């Protein structure tokens, strides 16, 4: 079986929440009654599979799959922004589904349902995925983007309950043991302290790889956290270059070499600038895989060191550049709180002091 991803492993807690009467010993979480799959879920009786016309499916497996699907969709659809805090953990899957790629979603549902089927006593299914601690560790699970804290775990529990309710599972006899059960599996899942925030790079998507299609160019695999940075940087440079209404007249001299190249149809400098700036930002906000290897900020903005720089930057012109970054971010629908964080980075004393040299 394919390696358990975060949707699957995070949702494991639903197993006992919805489908089991449990026993617990002092050494681990409660274990499900082996007869629950047959007695409560319908067992091996074959019924028509609503997702696969002409095929049949075990009634127990169908019931489990329905609840799993409801839980995943509840988080993914995120109605009213209720599950905003959970979105970063699932960025790879959300990007896939947003592009119409459903293979990861289907695999998730089937893997998790197989886990639940085996755990509840099914004889025809076996789960061989990661244990819960490994599955929630980004180092050991490449589809896990960031470590979970208690608040986000609590929010996930709400999604599980909501997904169960959508399957008409609301009995107090089933929901009652939830608190004790979830506490028994909280420790291996929660791996981030309550006072420790997720870094911005993780919240933008993190290190999971996604496909990015450029106009007229082949599809590229890039990190999910890098893609929005690259998009904003590209928009920022274009905003300055097109200079609608002359808003960025004062910035044009700094980009004279680049503008001349682009005007002549040479985009190599443009591409290098976008890549360098994007990599600088990625490293600055928490990327562990992307490293900026260009000039330090002082040298990069010093014409005596960098021949592509045609003048020393003033405070007023730097402020105007920050405005262009904000405009580029808004063009890419970046939320205002994230824009404000970028503003804090761009206006940090060290960076601002290195760039402004007159």
DSSP states along 34-62: TTHHHHTS-TT-EEE-TTSTT-EEEHHHH
**pLDDT the model gives residue 6:** 39
Query: Is it the case that residue 313 has pLDDT exceeding 90?
Result: yes
83-109 exposure pattern, b = at least 16 Cβ within 10 A, e = fewer: bebbbbbbbbbbbbbeeeeeebbebbb
The residue to which tokens 């206006």 are assigned: 347
Calculate the average pLDDT of the chain. Answer: 83
pLDDT at 318 over 60: yes
Q: At 189, is the pLDDT very low, low, confident or very high (cuts 50, 70, 90)?
A: confident
Check whether 53 has a pLDDT greater than 80: yes
pLDDT band per the 50, 70, 90 thresholds, residue 42: confident
pLDDT tens by residue, 215-230? 667 778 888 899 999 9
At residue 8 the predicted structure's pLDDT band, cuts being 50, 70 and 90, is very low
Q: What is the dihedral of CA 144, 149, 155, 157, to 10 degrees?
A: 80
Tell me the residue length of the chain: 358
C-alpha dihedral (253, 256, 259, 260), degrees to nearest 10: 150
Percent of the chain with pLDDT over 70: 86
Among 101, 77, 338, residue whose Cα is nearest residue 213 = 101
Answer positive or negative: Cα dihedral of 281, 282, 288, 292.
negative
Read off the pLDDT of each residue in 178-203 and give the average, rounded to a whole number. 80
Cα 301 → chain centroid: 34
Give CA torsion, residues 233, 238, 239, 245, to 10 deg: 170
pLDDT at residue 174, as a whole number = 53
**40-44, 64-68, 214-218: which range is least confident on average?**
214-218
CB neighbour burial string for 338-356, b if at least 16 within 10 angstroms, e if fewer: bbeebeeebeeeeebebbb
> Tens of pLDDT along 108-142?
889 878 877 787 788 999 987 888 898 888 878 87
pTM over 0.75: no
Residue 26 pLDDT class (50, 70, 90 cuts): very low
Is the pLDDT at 13 greater than 60, yes or no? Answer: no
Average pLDDT over residues 196-214: 83
Average the pLDDT over 303-329 and give the result: 95
pLDDT at position 22? 34
- With bands split at pLDDT 50, 70 and 90, how would you rate the model's confidence at 182? low
Closest among 188, 191, 185, 136 to 31, alpha carbons compared: 185
Residue 259 has pLDDT above 80, yes or no: yes
């Amino acid at each position: 079986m394919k390696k358990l991803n975060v949707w699957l492993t995070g949702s494991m807690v639903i197993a006992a929440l919805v489908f089991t009467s449990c026993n617990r010993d002092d050494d681990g979480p409660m274990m499900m009654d082996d007869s629950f799959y047959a007695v409560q879920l319908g067992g091996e009786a074959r019924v028509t599979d609503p997702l696969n016309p002409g095929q049949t499916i075990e009634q127990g497996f169908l019931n489990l799959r329905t609840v799993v699907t409801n839980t995943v969709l509840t988080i993914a659809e995120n109605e009213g922004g209720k599950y905003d805090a959970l979105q970063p953990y699932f960025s790879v899957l959300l990007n896939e589904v947003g592009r119409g790629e459903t293979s990861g979603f289907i695999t998730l549902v089937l893997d998790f349902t197989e886990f639940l089927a085996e755990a509840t006593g099914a004889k025809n299914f076996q789960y061989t995925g990661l244990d819960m601690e490994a599955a929630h560790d980004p180092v050991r699970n490449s589809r896990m983007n960031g470590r979970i804290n208690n608040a986000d775990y609590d929010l996930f529990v709400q999604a599980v309950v909501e997904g169960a309710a959508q399957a008409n599972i609301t009995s107090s006899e089933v929901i009652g043991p939830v608190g004790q059960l979830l506490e028994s599996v909280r420790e291996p899942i929660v791996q981030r302290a309550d006072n420790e925030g997720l870094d911005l790079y993780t919240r933008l998507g993190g290190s999971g790889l996604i496909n990015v299609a450029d106009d007229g160019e082949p599809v590229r695999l890039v990190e999910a956290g890098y893609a929005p940075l690259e998009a904003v940087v590209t928009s920022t440079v274009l905003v300055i270059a097109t200079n609608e209404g002359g808003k960025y007249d004062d910035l044009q001299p700094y980009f004279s070499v680049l503008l001349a190249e682009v005007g002549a149809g040479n985009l190599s400098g443009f591409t290098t600038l976008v890549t360098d700036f994007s990599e600088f930002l990625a490293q600055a906000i928490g990327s562990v895989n992307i490293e900026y290897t260009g000039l330090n900020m002082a040298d990069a903005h010093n014409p005596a060191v960098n021949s592509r720089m045609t003048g020393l930057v003033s405070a007023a012109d730097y402020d105007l550049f920050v405005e262009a970054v904000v405009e580029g971010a808004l063009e890419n629908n970046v939320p205002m709180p994230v824009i404000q964080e970028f503003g804090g980075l761009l206006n940090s004393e060290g960076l601002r002091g290195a760039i402004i040299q007159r």
